Amino acid sequence: MEPIQIPESILNEMIEHALEGYPNEVCGLIAGRDLNDPRVLRMTNTDPSPVSYRMDPREQLIVEKEMRKNGERILAIYHSHPDSEAFPSAKDAREAYQWNWGAPYIIIGKVKDSPSVRAFYIEEGHVTEVPLETL
Ligand SMILES: [Zn+2]
């Protein structure tokens, strides 16, 4: 499978967000016209907990409108697993359909303990890992 390439600065921004939100999960989007021009959009976790997240649907609408105006799309959806592996939970896989933008899911795992960052496509509850490369 074609690897996803993201700049190291973007990776570091996501890790920083995950550390700030610790011990709760954080969530956000990577938006851009393409992967050469990405930015991190931190989203509010409306259900803050160490084991789940929920994006604010109103905030999501505002962000989508802004992205459309800028000619951007969602390049990836990220969230953290503060103390567990960077692998989609059963809930992540089940609820992925709500965010079916065809974008990969990036998970930052074991946030305090040299974080691991992995990427997955989740389609109809089916999880496929995709290699993640930093530039
Ligand atoms: Zn998760």
On the 0-12 / 13-18 / 19+ scale of CB atoms within 10 A, 116 is: middle
Report how far residue 71's alpha carbon sits from residue 87's, in angstroms, rounded to the nearest whole number.
Answer: 31
Whole-model pTM: value is 0.94
Q: Is the peptide bond before 3 cis (omega within 30 degrees of 0)?
A: no
Q: What is the pLDDT of residues 60-95, one digit of tens each?
A: 999 999 999 999 999 999 999 999 999 999 999 988
Ligand 1 centroid vs 52 CA: distance in angstroms?
6
* Sheet strands (E) in the chain: 4-6, 27-32, 38-43, 73-81, 105-109, 116-123, 126-130, 132-134
3-state SS assignment for residue 56? coil
What positions carry a catalytic annotation? 25
Ligand 1 centroid vs 21 CA: distance in angstroms?
14
Ligand 1 centroid vs 119 CA: distance in angstroms?
12
CATH class of the 4-134 domain in this structure: alpha beta
3-state SS assignment for residue 58? helix
Residue 98 confidence (pLDDT): 63
Which sequence spans correspond to the domains of the chain? 4-134
Ligand 1 centroid vs 36 CA: distance in angstroms?
26
Residue 2 confidence (pLDDT): 87
Q: Dihedral, CA atoms, 89, 92, 94, 99, nearest 10 degrees?
A: -170
Residues in the chain with pLDDT values less than 50: none
Residue 88 confidence (pLDDT): 96
* DSSP assignment letter at 49: B
